[in-house]
Amino acid sequence: MKRRICVVVTARPSYSRIRTALQAIRKHPDLELQLVVAASALLERYGNAIHSIEHDGFAIAARVYMVVEGENLVTSAKSTGLGLVELATVFDNLKPDAVVTIADRYETLANAVAASYMNIPVVHVQGGEVTGSIDEKVRHAVTKLSNIHLVSTQGAAERVRRLGEEPASVIVTGCPSIDIAAEVAASPALDFDPFEKYGGVGPRADLSRGYLVVMQHPVTTEYQEARHQVDETLYAVKDLGLPVLWFWPNVDAGSDGTSKGIRVFREKEQPENFHLFRNMYPEDFLRLLCGATAIVGNSSVAIRECSFLGVPAVNIGSRQQGRERGRNVIDVEHDRVAIAEAIRTHIRNGKPERDLLYGDGHAGDRIADCLSTIELTIEKRLTY
């Protein structure tokens, strides 16, 4: 009998992080994929990742609407609680043999708690990493609720073991998002017109002489500073003489401040070199990154995929603090002068060598193989 593997995708980044594993699970002869799409992955204003999921041909077993409007600390907590209630019903209906939860967003905590209380083994992908903000606590809490740990790096594996998890339950698979980056690296040319294909807001731009990609999300532990923080980045990239392709923030506490800052800046400055996008298919986005002069902001894509692709990255603030990084990253604070100077440094230095820190491009198949063979149990033999 095939093992029923329920994977819960709750946000646009989560889908790109797990897509190759979903493909490998779907085609594995001993596994049955139950894909649940929830939270901001269903919402148009945050890129509506479900369009990409359906475009890739995945059948969706359940949709869970659980985001409480407001983008603040209270609504994040309430969304987590609502997710716990709704996901318990979904798991009861699907009766999976294991639930896979991804990374560190607050919604993943609802996945892990619901499955744990229902005696369903929890498989955590991308545990053991270190970052700033509330994500750090969520990630380690999910680790303690999980039974199997499929981690991206050797450093992450060591941290999970130090948290007291049984060494045999910790397996280094690499990050599935690197699988997509490896495919793109083999054919990196920008073979589409991003303005024609994805629309967005703002003037079209000539990308042939370089451009910046910006992804900046609010930091939940600094959510009241989100407006100021995004202003520093907006004005840092405004006068560098390069087109700026800006992507909308995640649904987190403070995203209202980030979004308002972008809107006010556009109305006040009317920049001719800014174009805003909501979302792109993962391959298209990575091809866009391959041709970029640099990626600017605080997204983990600058640390993970861009290290593999050799794309220069300016990482701003504390959101990725402590995360293992390659040679492509310059870290700065929320200061427009420092941000602009870091970009200029990358322009002078050119593209760095790529790094295999987060994987070699075969994580999806490793994850599916682990899920088909590893012992699934709700008992945890801790090693304190």
Question: Each residue of 355-383: pLDDT tens digit?
Answer: 999 999 999 999 999 999 999 887 766 66
What is the predicted pLDDT for the residue at 166? Answer: 94
Q: How many CB atoms lie within 10 A of CB 57?
A: 8
Beta bridge partners of 8: 36
The DSSP result for 92-144, as a single string, is HHH--SEEEEETT-HHHHHHHHHHHHTT--EEEES-S---SSTHHHHHHHHHH
Phi, psi values for residue 247, rounded to 5°:
-110, 140
How would you class 171 by CB atoms within 10 Å of its CB: exposed for 0-12, middle for 13-18, buried for 19 or more? middle
What is the predicted pLDDT for the residue at 140? Answer: 95
Mean pLDDT of 291-295: 97
Q: How confident is the model at residue 61 (pLDDT cuts 50, 70, 90)?
A: very high
Beta bridge partners of 19: none
Please provide the size of the chain in residues: 384
| Residue 333 three-state SS | coil
What is the predicted pLDDT for the residue at 46? Answer: 65
Mean pLDDT of 201-224: 93
Q: How confident is the model at residue 93 (pLDDT cuts 50, 70, 90)?
A: very high
Between 22 and 250, the more confident residue is 22
Q: Which residues contact 327 (CB under 8 A, 6 or more apart)?
A: 307, 352, 353, 355
Distance CA 215, CA 273 (A): 16
The two structure tokens encoding residue 366? 């490793």
How would you class 331 by CB atoms within 10 Å of its CB: exposed for 0-12, middle for 13-18, buried for 19 or more? middle
Report which of 61, 106, 62, 51 is spatially closest to residue 86, judged by C-alpha positions: 62
pTM score of the predicted model: 0.88
The DSSP result for 164-198, as a single string, is T--GGGEEE---HHHHHHHHHHHS-S--S-HHHHH
Mean pLDDT of 113-117: 97
| Residue 45 three-state SS | helix
- What's the sign of the alpha-carbon dihedral 285, 290, 291, 293? positive
What is the predicted pLDDT for the residue at 52? Answer: 87
Beta bridge partners of 201: 276
Q: How confident is the model at residue 36 (pLDDT cuts 50, 70, 90)?
A: very high
Domains for the chain: give ranges and CATH numbers.
3-175+359-373 (3.40.50.2000), 183-349 (3.40.50.2000)
Report which of 217, 173, 146 is spatially closest to residue 380, judged by C-alpha positions: 146
What is the predicted pLDDT for the residue at 47? Answer: 62
Mean pLDDT of 167-194: 96
What is the predicted pLDDT for the residue at 31? Answer: 98
Distance CA 176, CA 341 (A): 33
Q: How confident is the model at residue 44 (pLDDT cuts 50, 70, 90)?
A: confident
Q: Using a pLDDT cut of 90, give the percent of the chain over it.
A: 80
Report which of 17, 300, 376, 356 is spatially closest to residue 154, judged by C-alpha positions: 356
Contact by Cβ (8 Å): 180, 282? yes
The alpha-helical segments, DSSP class H, found in the chain are: 12-27, 50-55, 73-94, 106-117, 135-145, 154-162, 176-186, 194-198, 226-238, 255-269, 282-290, 305-309, 336-349, 363-373
What is the predicted pLDDT for the residue at 103? Answer: 87
| Residue 245 three-state SS | strand
The two structure tokens encoding residue 300? 């983990």
What is the predicted pLDDT for the residue at 347? Answer: 97
Q: How confident is the model at residue 201 (pLDDT cuts 50, 70, 90)?
A: very high
Residue 205 has pLDDT above 70, yes or no: yes
Contact by Cβ (8 Å): 83, 75? no
